[in-house]
Amino acid sequence: MSPDTIRSAFTMAAWGMVLALFDFSFNGVVLTPDFIGYILMAVGLGKLESLASQFGMFSRLAWILAPLSLGEYLKTSSPDLALVFLLLGLAVAVLQFVLLFSLCSAVEEAALRAKCQGLVDRAVTCRALVLIFLVLGLVILAVVSLRLVDLVIPVVIIGFIYSVVLIVMLFLMLTWAGRELSAESLTT
């Protein structure tokens, strides 16, 4: 695989992740549709399957998430469908966690093969950050479910700030992976 293909595939996956996970809206109009981000991730990760077989699997998972993410545009005030959309949102959240956690493992595997220890360390750190985010999400869910009113706003603010930091760290890991693994492919 050419260095340019490796670099561009990781860059595409990184920007796709940003589009899929950040929601920018203006006057109720979503400016960054999640499904476009998942399609970019799927295409980028699919190109990387020769580096680590896991990338191909995660490409297919991103293809599954693309249509599932359209559920956010179909929300209705109908109480009959509220449970359906709640379960759809939960399924998307679980699949996002699996994708991000496993993506870090795939980068680690590719970095180990290429003997890029710095990238291995970044991937392991990002995987730990994803786990911490899961725990933080569960804390937010508990605080909201238990109606601990005094804690809701601080915990949600902390969760939001942490999610921004996590997405930036994952973006940097993917762009570093593109740079380091493409440079490594030149030397082998």
pLDDT per 10-residue tile (average), the chain, 188 residues: 93 95 78 89 94 89 90 67 76 89 93 94 96 90 86 89 94 95 76
pLDDT at position 186: 64
Q: In 10 A of CB 71, how many CB atoms?
A: 16
User: For residue 2, what are the CA distances in angstroms to 7, 39, 185?
Assistant: 9, 22, 7
Q: How far apart are CA 170 and CA 19, in angstroms?
A: 13
pTM: 0.86
| Planar angle of CA 159, 163, 165, nearest 5 degrees | 120
Q: How far apart are CA 31 and CA 42, in angstroms?
A: 20
Q: How far apart are CA 130 and CA 136, in angstroms?
A: 10
For residue 29, give the 3-state DSSP assignment: strand
In which residue are the tokens 């605080």 written?
Answer: 143
Radius of gyration, alpha carbons of the chain: 18
